[in-house]
């Protein structure tokens, strides 16, 4: 693999000239495989979701197969597939996706609930859709499904009420997931502080419910990300490996904290990976880039550099 470096003031960037990388798989302390992966949300603009006022439409679109081919070319072993880009797949589309994953030897995770999921417990009717996607996850060969309980716009002020609304919904969903052999992994989605999410998981106390650990989102809630990662790592069943930087403005605003290539931002990634290893994490290390810092013009460049850095940590 040949790398071409381009040094800009304070922002070193990288292109992979020939991105046919070798799939890297390591083992944690329990001897279980940990695999590099990419979440399809890293290509959200190319799937048609563009943040108004923050991003430019790239003017082109990709299919799910295009995404899988790009992931394979970057040498990862798995993919996290956002159902918001396939909200109502037909049986034929599900079968095709399963065949494509098998052909490319990519381990899948499914992801449900973007952007607001259960709306912090105020949308109990969404449990039916969550269950439907649990069955889709099983059909494509995923044993883990990331779910969103809410988002920064749905988070209520009162944690006791918030928790009381979520517990029965998630208890029901986890029981259904057990029947399909799928673990539900709640993302820390700017809707819960680390202690709140731990309390929620401990209260339900089901092996079919865990955490999708996003390494950066708690900083967007002005919580120390290293402390949040330390608290959530024992419960991790899926990950979003995300790095962010401060752009300016109001730190309570989402736009203050854009994504940057992993290793370029504030998150202590070596420490995050060490925490996951310490607790025997045995899943996908899935890169996610949401709103890319405007200093980085190319999604592909940021993704390639991130995967290279993540691989270096393994």
Residue-level pLDDT at 6:
35
Residue-level pLDDT at 210:
98
Residue-level pLDDT at 297:
87
- φ, ψ at 107 (rounded to 5°): -80, 130
Which of 27-41, 55-69, 81-95, 255-269 shows the lowest mean pLDDT across its residues? 27-41
- Say if strands 78-82 and 33-39 run parallel, antiparallel, or are unpaired: parallel
Residue-level pLDDT at 28:
52
Domains of the chain with CATH codes: 28-49+59-313 (3.20.20.150)
pLDDT tens digits, one per residue of 108-138: 999 999 999 999 999 999 999 999 999 999 9
Residue-level pLDDT at 202:
98
Q: Considering the entire predicted model, what is its pTM? A: 0.90
248 token code pair: 């300016």
Residue-level pLDDT at 34:
76
Residue-level pLDDT at 3:
28
222: three-class secondary structure by DSSP? coil
Strands (E) in the chain, as ranges, are 3-8, 11-16, 25-27, 33-39, 78-82, 107-112, 144-147, 183-187, 209-214, 236-240, 243-244, 259-260, 284-287
Residue-level pLDDT at 244:
98
Show the CA angle centred on residue 152, arms to residues 147 and 155, nearest 5°. 85
Burial class (CB in 10 A: 0-12, 13-18, 19+), 211: buried
Show the CA angle centred on residue 167, arms to residues 161 and 173, nearest 5°. 145
Residue-level pLDDT at 14:
31
pLDDT tens digits, one per residue of 143-186: 999 999 999 999 999 999 999 999 999 999 999 999 999 999 99
Average pLDDT of the segment spanning 279-285 = 96
Residue-level pLDDT at 2:
31
- Say if strands 243-244 and 259-260 run parallel, antiparallel, or are unpaired: antiparallel
Residue-level pLDDT at 31:
53
pLDDT tens digits, one per residue of 20-37: 344 445 455 445 567 999
Q: What is the mean pLDDT of the chain?
A: 91
């Amino acid at each position: 693999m040949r790398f071409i470096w381009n040094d800009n003031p304070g922002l070193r960037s990288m292109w992979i000239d020939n991105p046919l990388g070798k799939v890297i798989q390591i083992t944690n302390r329990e001897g279980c495989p940990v695999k590099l992966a990419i979440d399809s949300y890293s290509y959200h603009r190319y799937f048609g979701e563009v943040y108004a006022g923050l991003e430019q439409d790239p003017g082109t679109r990709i299919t799910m197969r295009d995404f899988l081919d790009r992931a394979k070319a970057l040498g990862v072993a798995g993919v996290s597939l956002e159902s918001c880009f396939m909200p109502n797949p037909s049986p034929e589309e599900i079968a095709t996706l399963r065949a494509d994953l098998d052909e490319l030897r990519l381990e899948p995770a499914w992801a449900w609930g973007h952007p607001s999921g259960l709306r912090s417990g105020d949308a109990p009717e969404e449990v039916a859709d969550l269950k439907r996607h649990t069955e889709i996850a099983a059909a494509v060969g995923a044993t883990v499904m990331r779910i969103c309980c809410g988002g920064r716009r749905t988070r209520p002020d009162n944690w006791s009420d918030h928790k009381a609304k979520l517990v029965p919904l998630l208890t029901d969903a986890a029981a259904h997931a057990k029947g399909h052999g799928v673990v539900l992994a709640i993302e820390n989605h700017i809707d819960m502080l680390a202690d709140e999410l731990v309390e929620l998981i401990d209260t339900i106390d089901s092996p079919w419910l865990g955490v999708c650990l996003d390494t950066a989102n708690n900083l967007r809630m002005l919580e120390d990300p290293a402390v949040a990662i330390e608290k959530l790592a024992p419960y991790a069943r899926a990950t979003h490996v995300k790095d962010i930087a401060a752009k300016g403005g109001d730190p309570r605003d989402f736009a203050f904290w854009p994504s940057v290539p992993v290793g370029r931002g504030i998150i202590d990634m070596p420490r995050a990976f060490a925490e996951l290893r310490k607790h025997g994490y045995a899943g996908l290390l899935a890169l996610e880039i949401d709103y890319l810092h405007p200093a980085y013009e190319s999604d592909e460049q940021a993704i390639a550099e991130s995967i290279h850095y993540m691989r270096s940590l393994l």
